[in-house]
Amino acid sequence: MTQILGIDVGATGIKGALVDIEQGELISDRVKYKTPKPATPDAMMEVMKKLVEDFEWQEKVIGIGFPAIIKDGHTESASNIHKSWKGYNLIKEARKRFSDKTFLINDADAAGISEMRYGLGRKYLDKVAILLTLGTGIGSAIFNEGELLPNTELGHLKFKSSVAEKYASNSAREGKDLSWKEWAKELNEVLNHINFLFSPDVFILGGGISKKFDNYEEHLDLKEKVFPAESRNNAGIIGAALHAYMKSQ
Ligand code: BGC
């Protein structure tokens, strides 16, 4: 069995578990720490280190999914984390501090590749699929015939007086104390817009709120093509591990 440590870094929590790559399943307890505030590189690296030290496994391959644009191992944006993450050489620091077999991918891209390999995405390998994670921000992963276009950042589409994630993320729902119906109205606007731009065959919704799909399904417009992620909130961890596996081969 190939075991890899998957870490899903979020603006609210940092989660990790050992993943069985053949099955795409967690094979350890999931460990979760709060993301420190302010969420600076040093503070977050400390928490990630603590998390890595919670696990014992053979190969020491680690996959990190991180909530920013990822280019050449650097974090190139910082929306819900400290601005000093912009331009940070995360791959270098992680390899120095955790394991030289650490690999990095955007968190939504990670959740996306997990769903395409092990989840609902398997039905859409010859189509256009868009996964959106609705958490603190909104992350996106676009697939054409199973191929990922990385770093798409659809949560930052201009929307009303700001960007989509400020209205349709789960934190927007909580922060503004919206009912499911009120929040679904915002989400519908975002989904309809993305639907017009990309004509996907399916939208897969990930992030913590995918577990609560029953609460808002009835309020959605594009019912025939919007579904919750099959691996629910673990897609980010599993996908980060899968990406590391593919890169380490
Ligand atoms: C970030 C994305 C990330 C998403 C979900 C956004 O604010 O810009 O890179 O994928 O949040 O965490």
All domains in the chain, ordered by first residue? 3-109+235-248 (3.30.420.40), 123-229 (3.30.420.40)
Q: How confident is the model at residue 208 (pLDDT cuts 50, 70, 90)?
A: confident
User: Is the C-beta atom of 120 inside 6 A of ligand 1?
Assistant: no
Q: Are 65 and 239 in contact (CB under 8 A)?
A: yes
When pLDDT is averaged across residues 197-207 and rounded to a whole number, the result is 97
Is 232's pLDDT higher than 80?
A: no
- Indicate which atom in ligand 1 lies nearest the CA of residue 140: 10
Q: Are 9 and 48 in contact (CB under 8 A)?
A: yes
Ligand 1 test: best mutation among 80, 90, 104, 130, most atoms within 8 Å of CB? 80
pLDDT tens per residue across span 26-76: 999 999 999 999 999 999 999 999 999 999 999 899 999 999 999 999 999
Statement: residue 240 has pLDDT above 80:
yes
Cβ of 67 below 6 Å from ligand 1: yes
Name the more confident of 232 and 247.
247
Q: Per-residue pLDDT averaged across 200-226, rounded?
A: 95
Instruction: Please work out whether the CB of residue 137 comes within 6 Å of at least one atom of ligand 1.
Output: yes
Tokens of 96: 């120095």
Number of H helices, E strands in the chain: 8, 15
Predicted confidence (pLDDT) at residue 233 exceeds the cutoff of 90? no
Q: How many whole angstroms separate alpha carbon 154 and alpha carbon 158? A: 9
Query: In this predicted structure, what is the pLDDT of residue 236?
Result: 96
CA-wise closest residue to 216 among 170, 172, 183: 183
- Assess contact for 166 and 134: CB atoms under 8 A: no
Average pLDDT of every residue of the chain:
97
The string of pLDDT tens digits covering residues 110-130 is 999 999 999 999 999 999 999
Residue 1 has a pLDDT of 82
Q: Tell the residue nearest (CA) to atom 12 of ligand 1.
A: 67
Whole-number Å distance, alpha carbon 100 to ligand 1 midpoint, is 25
Ligand 1 neighbour 139 (Cβ under 6 A): yes
Residue 77 above 90 pLDDT? yes
Of 105-109, 128-132, 163-167, 210-214, minimum mean pLDDT range: 210-214
pLDDT recorded at residue 157: 98
For residue 131, what pLDDT is reported? 98
